[in-house]
Every structure is written in C-alpha cells, then in structure tokens.
C-alpha cells in the first residue's frame, strides 16, 4: 500500500510538471487580442469557407479541381 501511495505522488508530480510546461508553451505562443466596436480587422477565409461567401447557382456543374 505504501508503494502505491509513493507511485501516486510521483505520478502527480510528473503530471503537474508536464501540464505546467504545456501551459507555458501555449502562453508563449498565444496572446489575447482585444477588439473594440469600429475597429478594422482582416479576416482570413479558408478555401472551403469561400463557398459561403459566393454562392453558385448549381454546384453539380462546378469545377472540382
């Protein structure tokens, strides 16, 4: 029973260390941006999303490649 408790303590330390490392890596690469009403922003539309902007009348006859 004591071995089990020791192993659990070790695992908790390893888990907390790895989660703190992951959080630090995420925080270093990502920052929160604040936008206010009236601000101009650039939007990036991905290719498959562009279909929502320009709707064709017939999808069956559209070019696929």
Range of the domain at 47: 2-30+37-53
45's CB contacts (< 8 A; 6+ apart) are: 53
Q: Which two tokens stand for residue 64?
A: 């696929």
pLDDT surpassing 60 at residue 51: no
Q: Is the pTM higher than 0.95?
A: no
C-alpha–C-alpha distance, residues 5 and 35, integer Å: 49
In a domain, 58, yes or no: no
What's the number of domains the chain is made of?
A: 1
Angular region, 21: left φ>0, alpha ψ -120 to 50, beta rest:
alpha
CA-to-CA distance for 1 and 6, rounded, in angstroms?
9
Query: pLDDT of 19-33, one tens digit each?
Result: 999 999 999 988 888
Asked if 24 and 16 count as a contact pair (C-beta separation under 8 A), the reply is no
Asked if the structure places residue 62 within a domain, the reply is: no
């Amino acid at each position: 029973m004591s071995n089990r408790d020791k192993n659990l303590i070790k695992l908790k330390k390893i888990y907390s260390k790895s989660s703190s490392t992951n959080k630090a890596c995420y925080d270093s690469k990502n920052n929160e941006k604040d936008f206010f009403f009236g601000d101009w922003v650039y939007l990036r539309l991905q290719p498959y999303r562009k279909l929502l902007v320009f709707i064709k009348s017939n999808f069956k006859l559209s070019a696929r490649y």
